[in-house]
């Protein structure tokens, strides 16, 4: 794998069957080198989130892949996770860092805001996510443009993650200016997630 090729960051589906998903995740991890997994569930049911965290952690750690959970700072240490992914930009980065200590991973999703990204980095985030980079009707629909990544990769040392409605063409285009691609729905909605991920990886060059 080329040194300057972006790394893979895998986002789980917003809901999944615990009897099926861990095996599918293991197949994906067995097929491609993944740097980090993000568990982001739509449910507010604590029991479901905790059971999912345990199941995904088991697979992630079997493949020696870090696992972060979306927003639930209190569950990180309790479930032996590697950190937290915050979806509110820079707002809770300092708090998360204080709660979890220096060794935990703290990431921040900053939509398309360069200012939020810089603030998150200064507050101690280990990485900053910008997105969506592709066309989507979700959220405000405001895209994180390539210029933002270009500027960030030239000026800021904090690793940057591109995510949201990725296509092979977008991966090809953004590969020189991002450190990670966060891939989720793009593969989980495909008939064969392993093959779908393989196509995106091939596009990285």
The answer to whether position 131 is within a domain reads yes
Query: Mean pLDDT across the stretch 25-49?
Result: 97
Q: Convert the pLDDT of each residue in 164-196 to its tens digit.
A: 999 999 999 999 999 999 999 999 999 999 999
Assigned domain for 45 exists: yes
Asked if residue 140 belongs to a domain, the reply is yes
Q: What does the pLDDT look like over 89-121, one tens digit per residue?
A: 999 999 999 999 999 999 999 999 999 999 999
Per the structure, how many domains does the chain have?
A: 1
What CATH number is associated with residue 185? Answer: 3.20.20.70
Backbone angles phi, psi at 144, to 5 degrees: -85, 110
Q: Which domain holds residue 47?
A: 7-203
155 domain residue, yes or no: yes
> For position 138, what pLDDT does the model report?
67
The answer to whether position 13 is within a domain reads yes
Could you tell me if residue 1 is inside a domain? no
- Residue 128, in any domain of the structure: yes
């Amino acid at each position: 794998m080329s040194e300057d090729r972006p790394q893979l960051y895998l986002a789980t589906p917003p809901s999944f069957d615990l009897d099926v998903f861990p095996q599918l995740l293991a197949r994906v991890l067995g097929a491609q080198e993944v740097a980090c997994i993000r568990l982001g569930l739509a449910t507010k049911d604590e029991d479901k989130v905790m059971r999912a965290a345990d199941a995904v952690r088991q697979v992630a750690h079997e493949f020696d892949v870090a696992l972060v959970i979306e927003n639930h700072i209190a569950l990180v240490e309790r479930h032996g996770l590697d950190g937290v992914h915050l979806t509110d930009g820079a707002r809770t980065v300092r708090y998360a860092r204080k709660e979890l200590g220096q060794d935990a991973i703290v990431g921040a999703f900053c939509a398309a805001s360069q200012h939020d990204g810089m603030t998150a980095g200064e507050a101690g985030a280990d990485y900053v996510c910008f997105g969506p980079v592709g066309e989507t009707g979700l959220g405000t629909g405001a895209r994180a443009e390539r210029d933002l990544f270009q500027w960030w990769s030239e000026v800021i040392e904090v690793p940057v993650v591109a995510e949201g409605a990725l296509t092979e063409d977008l991966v090809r285009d953004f590969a020189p200016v991002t450190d990670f691609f966060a891939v989720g729905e793009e593969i989980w909605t495909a008939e064969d997630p392993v093959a779908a991920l393989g196509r995106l990886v091939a596009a990285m060059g």
